[in-house]
Structure 1
Amino acid sequence: MGFKGRIAAVSITFCFHTLFVLYDVSRYGRLDALILSAYLLILPVAYWAGFQFDRIKAESEKDPLTRLYNRRYVLDSYSRLTMRASRQLGKLFVLMIDCDNFKTINDRLTHEKGDLVFQRIAALLRTHTRSTDIVSRWGGDEFLVIGEYNGSEALAAMLNRIAGELENLSLEMGIPISATIGSAVYPDDHHHINELIKIADREMYSYKPRTKEEDAFLAYDLIDHL
């Protein structure tokens, strides 16, 4: 959660009340102790109001199920990320991650189990990406990750870590859990976020097996998990 609301509320309140104090001194030629002590009341109130703003804003940027950032936050942050990358002559990667068989998991193992799987995948992505990366739920069973691109080897290493942890999660939960991932690079592939997502999405689906549900569930007797 950010601090902009609290900083703005306290700063504006302090400035306006200080102007009022100065006006009162210039008008009456003395400093009123009661008016001066009002700082002790109005600044905490301003801080509380700013905190409520920060809390509501933070909630509006998060997906309620996974607590990852949502699509709105990604779109609002994209220009800031690209400006920083341009200043540093750097690049950004965009990953589209689609959870395989998620509909089948929901249908066969109840939506509660499906939500738990989704939350575990979200936690896994937070753990195995960098703190500067933006990890978001893009919609449905898709995640989006944007971060500083440090070369294909570093990106491949991240993807290998994610794939390995998904395999471990699959064994831990006794459910076949996997994901198909597509990528794009700013500015090499495109400058606009929507086009980068389309490129990553096309790459993702070009590798997705046609019989993904049959293949993923072939070695599992899901009836045992009901």
Structure 2
Amino acid sequence: MKNPVQWLRSAVFLVQMYLAMLVLGLLFAPWAAVSAKGARIACKTYARWVLWTARWMVGIKTEVRGQVPSDEVIIAAKHQSFLDILIIFNAVPSARFIMKRELMWTPVIGVYAKRLGCVPVNRGKRGAAIAKMVKDVANESREPGQLIIYSQGTRVAPGARKPYKIGTAVLYQGLSQPCVPAATNVGVFWPRTGIYRKPGLAVVEFLEVMQPGISREDFMAQLEQRVESRSDALMREAGFEPGETAQQA
């Protein structure tokens, strides 16, 4: 039985989080409309607000480990919930995301995603989507930054297993950029669905850089092994055994 007080705190936290998105989105809209810098500052402000309120409202502390990438790289990250998006975006200087096309048409998020140069992908047409993704990213490469892709294509609950998609390798080879794997345990505290938030230390860890030149098969095998093994270790550190059935709120 979850703590009813913590459940109430979680509900209040979520309400204010979405209200803050709306308020900051509208407040920064004039600047963001004419400046990508304005859009980035708005999103950084929002990320920091949520991370700060999560700490004192629901007891979720956050930590970034490893060498934070600042050059033009691909970040291939484990995705467990909205929290890992916020932590990574706040940590790196110039993030943009590979994201499903539907999100580009949502209020606030879609508008700012376009201004940040995020790359939409139509997941219903996988082959064409991958080819277009590489082309779109290459067209934007004149603006250095960190391109974040979630290699499993969706949020994956702690303890669940989902295959890694080839799109990350296609980007890695097509752009000839270093790839920084990123592991996390955030789903232990902030689940991909539901309201309840569990107190604890949520971590995103940037792992050793994978330089260009690795074959597609070796790259995918190494990426999955590194990210999954380190994410499992972080989840165990948080008191969750990855072999258990994930508990959702």
Greater helix share, structure number: 1
Task: Compute the TM-score of the two structures, normalised by the length of structure 2.
Answer: 0.30
Q: Which has the higher contact order (CA 8 A, sep 6+)?
A: 2
Task: Compute the TM-score of the two structures, normalised by the length of structure 1.
Answer: 0.32
Larger Rg: 1
